[in-house]
Chain A
């Protein structure tokens, strides 16, 4: 803890870099997954292809992906772009499944009602399906964001890792305090992002939280396999 307090300016700089490296892929992941989900949600064949590609991408270890990307697209091995691209791929793979499932879960009566009111298919997708899918999407986004915060640090071994650089330099200098400071900052960052997305989603979906607030999460997905977040129990990992 002493190290953290004494070196706060340096840590702060690494923290903002870390935040950038984890937030940008999360946002790209949400946008890509939503786009794919809205366009291909009703096309079973393309959907099956996308789902299997996504689960294969998800299986690739992050360190492997970080070092393979340069030889695929010609970037330098130390380029932050490698980490941004790898994490965006993970986030969109994780979220595209969530988006498909969330769109499926929209009640058919609601869709029929929207059609009866004269919504065109495209307009219905954006103004009816999308808002109703926001709850599960937010749960998936929380998982993606927290996973990214953790994975960015692996990038430190190839020179791009925000707070992960504290692990590398702490290890090389035999200085546990510095590593501990990095772990603490990463956990705090993950917790803050997780809460911010949860609160933002709550504000954006007031209809989910009228009445019994504490029960809302269990009501949404009573038989969901994963515990807190509604996404799958597997995850990308370092």
Chain B
């Protein structure tokens, strides 16, 4: 099987055209980007609101673990049957998967800001909007990035399943390979998506380190 995979990867024909590896990789990244973007637009303001005010904390805490159990394959197939084949149903499913980790990161980051720091900001005359933008969000950045990193990894992994509902992406190789009993091609998909996840994880870890230079100061 590993030899089949290597010969598949070595064949120049598999690197060009709409079913080529760069095209599939592009599709995979495109679905993932759309989903993470939409999820951030929903989850960041909501997380800031809950973290800042404490309103809805209990609902968030109990909902987060149940949402973790949402089966992505089920959501994706159900949405496709209800809405028809297309880009939207799988992306909605990916958004549902990306919202909880981002929400958790933003909420925890904002809620964990030292109350004394917020009080001090208020005492020197900052309004709520300025407290959020200039105090809470910068201090929450490490946890927000942590949540975002988790969300991106989960979306990259789950986007593989989009191929099951007739979309593209790297999952195409896995499902086409399974249908043809061509396990070399299955391995190609599995290895590529794993490599993508590992590379992105490393890049995001690096980004978190670069963007949080004062992290050591904060934790001391």
Contact = CB atoms under 8 A, between A and B. Distances in A.
A182 B72 CA distance: 12
Interface string A25-43: 0000000000000000000
Interface string B72-105: 1111011011100000000000000100010011
Given A59-B198, A190-B68, 14 more contacts: A61-B158, A64-B160, A67-B190, A146-B65, A166-B74, A167-B77, A168-B77, A170-B77, A170-B78, A171-B165, A225-B105, A228-B62, A237-B158, A238-B97
Interface of B: 1-2, 60-62, 64-66, 68-75, 77-78, 80-82, 97, 101, 104-105, 107-109, 112, 143, 146-147, 149-150, 153-158, 160-161, 164-165, 171, 174-175, 178, 183, 186-187, 189-191, 193-194, 197-198, 201
Contact residues of B: prevailing secondary structure: helix
Contact of B81 (A157, A171, A194): A171
B174 A233 contact: no
B52 to A, nearest CB: 15
Contacts of A54: none
By size class, the interface of chain A is: 35 or more
B71 A61 contact: no
Interface of A: 55-56, 59-65, 67-68, 70-71, 77, 142-143, 146-147, 149-150, 153-154, 156-158, 161, 163-164, 166-168, 170-171, 174-176, 179-180, 182-183, 186-187, 189-191, 194, 223-229, 232-238
A4 B198 CA distance: 40
Contact residues of A: prevailing secondary structure: helix
Contacts of B149: 234
Nearest to B142: A225
Contact of A150 (B70, B164, B171, B174): B70
Contacts of A176: 78, 81-82
Given A180-B78, A183-B74, A61 B69 contact: no
Contacts of A150: 68-72
Indicate the member of A156, A166, A225 with the most B CB atoms within 10 Å.
A225
A238 B189 CA distance: 14
A61 B72 CA distance: 13
B174 A64 contact: yes
A237 B151 CA distance: 9
Contacts of B161: 63, 154, 157, 238
B1 A154 contact: no
Nearest to B68: A146
Nearest to A194: B65
B73 A238 contact: yes
8 contacts: A63-B160, A65-B194, A154-B161, A157-B178, A161-B73, A227-B104, A233-B147, A234-B146
B77 A225 contact: no
A194 B66 CA distance: 9
B105 A238 contact: no
Contacts of B101: 233-235
Contacts of B201: 55, 59
A154 B159 CA distance: 12
